[in-house]
Structure 1
Amino acid sequence: MNLADFFTHSKSLLKLTYPILIAQLIQNLMGFVDIVMAGRVSSIDLAAVAVANSIWLPITLTVYGLMMALAAIVSQLSGSSKYEEVVEKTYQTAWIGLVLGLSLVGLYYILMPIIAPHVTLEDKLAGLMFDYLGFIIWGAPGYCLYLVLRNYSEGLSYTKPTMIISVIGLLVNIPANYIFIYGKFGLPALGGAGCGIATALVYWSMFISMLSYCFYSKVLKQANLFTAFYWPVWHEIKNILTLGIPIALSLLFEVSLFAIAAIILVPFGALVVASHQVALNFTSLVFMVPLSIAMATTIKVGYAVGNNNLKQARDYTLYANILGLLLACVTAIFTLLFRKDIAGFYSTEEPVIELAANLMLLATIYQFSDTIQVVSAGALRGYKDTKSILYITFVSYWLIGLSVGLVLCVTDWIVPKMGPYGLWIGFIVGLTAAAILLAWRLRIIQQRLAFEIQRTTTST
Structure 2
Amino acid sequence: MRETKDVKEKAKLFITILIPILITQAGLSLITFLDTVMSGKVSAADLAGVAIGSSLWTPVYTGLAGILTAVTPIVAQLMGGKQQKDVPYTVVQSIYVAVILSLLVIFFGFFIIDPILETLQLEDKVSLVAHQYLLYLGIGILPLFVYNVMRSFIDSLGKTRVTMLITLCALPINFVLNYLFIFGNFGFPKLGGAGAGLASGLTYWCICLISLLIVHRKTPFYQFKIFGTFYSFSLPESLKLLKIGLPIGFAIFFETSIFAAVTLLMSHFDTVTIASHQAAMNFASLLYMLPLSVSMTLTIVVGFEAGAKRFEHSKAYSYLGISIAVGFSLFTAFVILLFRQQIAGMYTGDPDVLHLTKHFLLYALFFQLSDAIAAPIQGALRGYKDVNYTLVTALVSYWIIGLPAGFVIGTYTSFGAYGYWIGLITGLAAGAAGLFLRLRLIQSRLIRQHG
**What TM-score, normalized by structure 2, do the two folds share?**
0.96
Aligned 1:180-199 pairs, distance under 5 A? 180-199=181-200
Look up the SS of the partner of 2:401 in the other structure.
helix
Structure 2 counterpart of 1:141: 142
Structure 1 counterpart of 2:105: 104
Aligned 1:156-175 pairs, distance under 5 A? 156-175=157-176
Is 1:453 matched with 2:450? yes
Is 1:422 matched with 2:398? no
- Partners of 2:200 and 2:351 in 1: how far apart? 34
Indicate if the aligned counterparts of 1:10 and 1:323 stay in contact, CA closer than 8 A: no
Is 1:241 matched with 2:242? yes
Structure 1 counterpart of 2:131: 130
**What TM-score, normalized by structure 1, do the two folds share?**
0.94
CA RMSD, 1 decimal: 1.5
Aligned partner of 2:75: which letter?
V
Structure 2 counterpart of 1:433: 430
After TM superposition, the structure 1 stretch with the greater mean CA deviation from structure 2, 62-71 or 377-386, is 62-71
1:222 shift after superposition: 4.0
1:168 shift after superposition: 1.2
Structure 1 counterpart of 2:280: 279
- Partners of 1:142 and 1:210 in 2: how far apart? 10
Aligned residues: percent identity? 36
Indicate if the aligned counterparts of 2:102 and 2:141 stay in contact, CA closer than 8 A: yes
Q: Deviations over 1:196-249 (max 9, x none)?
A: 000001111110011111112112244231322211111110010010011111
Indicate if the aligned counterparts of 2:147 and 2:207 stay in contact, CA closer than 8 A: yes
1:375 shift after superposition: 0.4
- Partners of 1:9 and 1:99 in 2: how far apart? 38
Q: Deviations over 1:360-380 (max 9, x none)?
A: 112212322211110000000
- Partners of 1:8 and 1:420 in 2: how far apart? 46
Indicate if the aligned counterparts of 1:146 and 1:206 stay in contact, CA closer than 8 A: yes
Aligned residues: 447
- Partners of 1:240 and 1:383 in 2: how far apart? 14
Look up the SS of the partner of 1:92 in the other structure.
helix
Structure 2 counterpart of 1:313: 314
Q: Deviations over 1:141-163 (max 9, x none)?
A: 01000000000111111101111
Aligned partner of 1:262: which letter?
T
Structure 1 counterpart of 2:51: 50
Aligned partner of 1:252: which letter?
F
Is 1:401 matched with 2:420? no
Look up the SS of the partner of 1:185 in the other structure.
helix
Look up the SS of the partner of 2:309 in the other structure.
coil
- Partners of 2:259 and 2:112 in 1: how far apart? 26
1:20 shift after superposition: 0.8
Structure 2 counterpart of 1:229: 230
Q: Deviations over 1:59-85 (max 9, x none)?
A: 110122111110010100000111121
Indicate how the Cα distance of structure 1 residues 204 and 371 shifts in structure 2: closer, same or farther if over 3 A, else same.
Answer: same
1:185 shift after superposition: 2.8
Indicate if the aligned counterparts of 1:408 and 1:423 stay in contact, CA closer than 8 A: yes
- Partners of 1:421 and 1:120 in 2: how far apart? 27
Indicate if the aligned counterparts of 2:114 and 2:131 stay in contact, CA closer than 8 A: no
1:447 shift after superposition: 1.6
- Partners of 1:19 and 1:124 in 2: how far apart? 40
Indicate if the aligned counterparts of 1:247 and 1:386 stay in contact, CA closer than 8 A: yes
- Partners of 2:372 and 2:8 in 1: how far apart? 19
Indicate if the aligned counterparts of 1:150 and 1:210 stay in contact, CA closer than 8 A: yes
1:117 shift after superposition: 5.8
Aligned 1:61-76 pairs, distance under 5 A? 61-76=62-77
Look up the SS of the partner of 2:186 in the other structure.
coil
Structure 2 counterpart of 1:458: none
After TM superposition, the structure 1 stretch with the greater mean CA deviation from structure 2, 251-260 or 213-222, is 213-222
Indicate if the aligned counterparts of 1:14 and 1:293 stay in contact, CA closer than 8 A: no
1:421 shift after superposition: 1.3
Indicate how the Cα distance of structure 1 residues 117 and 169 shifts in structure 2: closer, same or farther if over 3 A, else same.
Answer: same
Structure 1 counterpart of 2:36: 35
- Partners of 1:314 and 1:254 in 2: how far apart? 26
- Partners of 2:223 and 2:427 in 1: how far apart? 43
1:116 shift after superposition: 6.0
* Structure 1 ranges of 4+ moved more than 6 A: none
Aligned partner of 1:310: which letter?
F
Q: Deviations over 1:256-302 (max 9, x none)?
A: 11111111211111111110111111111111011101100000000
Aligned 1:354-369 pairs, distance under 5 A? 354-369=355-370
- Partners of 2:133 and 2:165 in 1: how far apart? 27
1:5 shift after superposition: 4.4
Structure 1 counterpart of 2:78: 77
Aligned 1:357-396 pairs, distance under 5 A? 357-396=358-397
- Partners of 1:117 and 1:10 in 2: how far apart? 51
- Partners of 1:351 and 1:116 in 2: how far apart? 31
- Partners of 1:391 and 1:118 in 2: how far apart? 30
- Partners of 2:291 and 2:383 in 1: how far apart? 16
Indicate how the Cα distance of structure 1 residues 57 and 116 shifts in structure 2: closer, same or farther if over 3 A, else same.
Answer: closer
Stretches of structure 1 that go unaligned for 5 or more consecutive residues are 455-460
- Partners of 1:221 and 1:434 in 2: how far apart? 41
Aligned partner of 2:294: which letter?
I
Indicate if the aligned counterparts of 1:265 and 1:419 stay in contact, CA closer than 8 A: no
- Partners of 1:433 and 1:134 in 2: how far apart? 40
